[in-house]
Amino acid sequence: MKFKQDIFIVPVGIIKNDLKAPPLVAGDDGLKLNDACDSAITKLNDSSDRISEIILTDVSTDLLEGIEDYSHAMIIYWGHEITDAARKLKKVHPAGLKDYPLKGIYSTCSPARPNPILMTIVRIIKITNNGILVFGLDAIDNSPVLDIKPYVPDLYPQEDVMIPEWMEQIMEKFR
Protein backbone atom coordinates (compact mmCIF):
# COMPACT_ATOMS: atom_id res chain seq x y z
CA MET A 1 0.00 0.00 0.00
CA LYS A 2 1.33 3.42 -0.87
CA PHE A 3 0.39 6.50 1.08
CA LYS A 4 -0.19 9.84 -0.61
CA GLN A 5 2.13 11.80 1.61
CA ASP A 6 5.15 11.40 3.79
CA ILE A 7 4.87 12.06 7.49
CA PHE A 8 7.22 14.57 9.05
CA ILE A 9 7.46 14.80 12.83
CA VAL A 10 9.37 17.57 14.54
CA PRO A 11 10.55 16.81 18.09
CA VAL A 12 9.08 19.02 20.81
CA GLY A 13 11.96 18.42 23.20
CA ILE A 14 14.88 16.29 24.26
CA ILE A 15 15.40 13.90 27.18
CA LYS A 16 18.31 14.44 29.55
CA ASN A 17 19.26 11.74 32.06
CA ASP A 18 22.09 9.44 33.12
CA LEU A 19 21.07 6.47 30.95
CA LYS A 20 23.75 6.59 28.25
CA ALA A 21 23.23 3.09 26.78
CA PRO A 22 19.94 1.26 26.29
CA PRO A 23 19.40 -1.86 28.44
CA LEU A 24 18.23 -3.70 25.31
CA VAL A 25 19.98 -3.48 21.96
CA ALA A 26 18.90 -4.80 18.60
CA GLY A 27 20.94 -5.77 15.61
CA ASP A 28 21.07 -8.24 12.75
CA ASP A 29 21.05 -11.12 15.23
CA GLY A 30 17.95 -9.93 17.11
CA LEU A 31 17.37 -8.35 20.50
CA LYS A 32 19.69 -8.88 23.47
CA LEU A 33 20.47 -7.46 26.87
CA ASN A 34 23.20 -4.84 26.56
CA ASP A 35 26.55 -6.04 27.86
CA ALA A 36 27.65 -2.39 28.10
CA CYS A 37 25.27 -1.89 31.02
CA ASP A 38 26.52 -3.11 34.39
CA SER A 39 23.35 -5.13 34.66
CA ALA A 40 20.77 -4.65 31.96
CA ILE A 41 17.99 -6.14 34.08
CA THR A 42 18.93 -3.81 36.94
CA LYS A 43 18.87 -0.86 34.51
CA LEU A 44 15.39 -1.87 33.35
CA ASN A 45 14.21 -2.23 36.95
CA ASP A 46 15.77 1.11 37.94
CA SER A 47 13.87 3.13 35.35
CA SER A 48 11.07 3.79 37.87
CA ASP A 49 13.61 5.55 40.15
CA ARG A 50 15.51 7.43 37.45
CA ILE A 51 14.93 11.17 37.22
CA SER A 52 14.83 12.56 33.70
CA GLU A 53 14.44 16.09 32.50
CA ILE A 54 12.50 16.81 29.35
CA ILE A 55 13.71 20.07 27.90
CA LEU A 56 11.20 21.58 25.49
CA THR A 57 12.41 23.13 22.25
CA ASP A 58 9.70 25.77 22.55
CA VAL A 59 10.38 27.15 26.01
CA SER A 60 6.84 28.50 26.24
CA THR A 61 5.40 27.16 29.46
CA ASP A 62 1.96 27.60 27.89
CA LEU A 63 2.37 24.10 26.41
CA LEU A 64 2.60 22.59 29.90
CA GLU A 65 -0.01 24.73 31.61
CA GLY A 66 -2.27 22.42 33.62
CA ILE A 67 -0.08 19.29 33.36
CA GLU A 68 1.01 19.82 36.98
CA ASP A 69 -2.54 18.87 38.01
CA TYR A 70 -1.82 15.28 36.88
CA SER A 71 0.36 12.78 38.72
CA HIS A 72 1.48 11.01 35.52
CA ALA A 73 2.07 11.73 31.86
CA MET A 74 2.72 9.73 28.70
CA ILE A 75 6.00 10.57 27.07
CA ILE A 76 6.16 9.64 23.40
CA TYR A 77 9.69 9.63 22.08
CA TRP A 78 11.83 8.46 19.17
CA GLY A 79 14.28 5.58 19.52
CA HIS A 80 17.04 7.60 17.88
CA GLU A 81 19.73 4.94 18.28
CA ILE A 82 17.69 2.11 16.78
CA THR A 83 19.73 0.95 13.79
CA ASP A 84 18.43 0.31 10.30
CA ALA A 85 19.11 -3.42 10.87
CA ALA A 86 17.00 -3.35 14.04
CA ARG A 87 14.17 -1.58 12.20
CA LYS A 88 14.05 -4.51 9.78
CA LEU A 89 13.67 -7.22 12.41
CA LYS A 90 10.44 -9.17 12.11
CA LYS A 91 10.76 -11.41 15.19
CA VAL A 92 12.70 -11.27 18.45
CA HIS A 93 13.07 -13.22 21.66
CA PRO A 94 11.03 -11.04 24.07
CA ALA A 95 13.31 -8.79 26.18
CA GLY A 96 16.25 -10.49 24.46
CA LEU A 97 15.73 -13.59 26.61
CA LYS A 98 16.54 -16.65 24.51
CA ASP A 99 14.51 -18.97 26.76
CA TYR A 100 11.35 -17.42 25.27
CA PRO A 101 10.33 -18.29 21.71
CA LEU A 102 10.60 -15.82 18.85
CA LYS A 103 7.61 -13.49 18.63
CA GLY A 104 6.57 -10.91 16.06
CA ILE A 105 7.79 -7.39 16.84
CA TYR A 106 4.23 -6.09 17.19
CA SER A 107 3.50 -8.60 19.97
CA THR A 108 6.48 -7.40 22.04
CA CYS A 109 7.55 -4.21 23.77
CA SER A 110 10.82 -4.30 21.86
CA PRO A 111 12.37 -0.93 21.04
CA ALA A 112 13.33 -2.41 17.65
CA ARG A 113 10.42 -1.53 15.41
CA PRO A 114 9.93 -0.39 11.82
CA ASN A 115 9.17 3.07 13.25
CA PRO A 116 10.80 3.28 16.70
CA ILE A 117 8.07 5.39 18.27
CA LEU A 118 8.29 4.55 21.96
CA MET A 119 6.11 5.49 24.91
CA THR A 120 6.43 5.40 28.67
CA ILE A 121 4.10 6.45 31.48
CA VAL A 122 6.04 8.60 33.96
CA ARG A 123 5.40 10.24 37.32
CA ILE A 124 5.57 14.03 37.14
CA ILE A 125 7.95 15.58 39.67
CA LYS A 126 7.68 19.23 38.72
CA ILE A 127 7.47 21.72 35.90
CA THR A 128 10.65 23.71 35.26
CA ASN A 129 11.14 27.00 33.44
CA ASN A 130 11.87 25.11 30.17
CA GLY A 131 10.37 21.65 30.64
CA ILE A 132 9.40 18.95 33.07
CA LEU A 133 11.13 16.62 35.56
CA VAL A 134 9.82 13.05 35.70
CA PHE A 135 10.44 9.65 37.34
CA GLY A 136 10.37 6.41 35.39
CA LEU A 137 11.38 7.35 31.85
CA ASP A 138 13.14 4.41 30.19
CA ALA A 139 14.52 6.49 27.30
CA ILE A 140 18.24 7.03 26.87
CA ASP A 141 19.88 10.44 27.12
CA ASN A 142 19.26 12.75 24.16
CA SER A 143 16.19 10.89 22.90
CA PRO A 144 13.90 13.26 20.97
CA VAL A 145 10.48 13.80 22.55
CA LEU A 146 7.59 13.69 20.07
CA ASP A 147 4.70 14.47 22.41
CA ILE A 148 3.60 14.73 26.04
CA LYS A 149 0.08 13.78 27.06
CA PRO A 150 -1.60 13.57 30.47
CA TYR A 151 -2.17 10.02 31.67
CA VAL A 152 -5.84 9.38 32.44
CA PRO A 153 -6.28 5.72 33.46
CA ASP A 154 -10.02 5.67 32.77
CA LEU A 155 -9.35 6.32 29.08
CA TYR A 156 -7.71 2.90 28.81
CA PRO A 157 -9.23 -0.56 29.23
CA GLN A 158 -9.32 -1.78 32.83
CA GLU A 159 -11.33 -4.99 32.49
CA ASP A 160 -10.89 -8.07 30.36
CA VAL A 161 -7.30 -7.10 29.55
CA MET A 162 -5.32 -10.16 28.53
CA ILE A 163 -1.59 -10.70 28.11
CA PRO A 164 0.21 -13.94 27.25
CA GLU A 165 1.80 -16.08 29.95
CA TRP A 166 5.30 -15.45 28.57
CA MET A 167 4.80 -11.69 29.06
CA GLU A 168 3.59 -12.26 32.63
CA GLN A 169 6.76 -14.26 33.30
CA ILE A 170 8.98 -11.57 31.83
CA MET A 171 7.24 -8.86 33.85
CA GLU A 172 7.82 -10.92 36.99
CA LYS A 173 11.57 -11.13 36.19
CA PHE A 174 11.80 -7.34 35.90
CA ARG A 175 9.91 -6.54 39.11
The CATH number of whichever domain residue 57 belongs to comes to 2.40.30.70
Q: Is residue 117 part of a domain?
A: yes
Q: How far is CA 98 from the centre of its chain?
A: 22
Q: Which domain holds residue 137?
A: 13-153
- Domain count for the chain, please give it: 1
Tens-place pLDDT, residues 122-172: 999 999 988 999 999 989 999 999 999 999 999 999 899 999 999 999 888
Q: Is residue 158 part of a domain?
A: no
Q: Is residue 130 part of a domain?
A: yes
CB count in 10 Å sphere of residue 79? 22
Answering whether pTM is above 0.75, one says yes
Tens-place pLDDT, residues 100-109: 999 999 999 8
If you average pLDDT over residues 87-115, what whole number do you get?
91
Q: Is residue 23 part of a domain?
A: yes
Q: How confident is the model at residue 49 (pLDDT cuts 50, 70, 90)?
A: confident
Rounded to 5 degrees, what angle do the CA atoms 151, 111, 147 make? 35
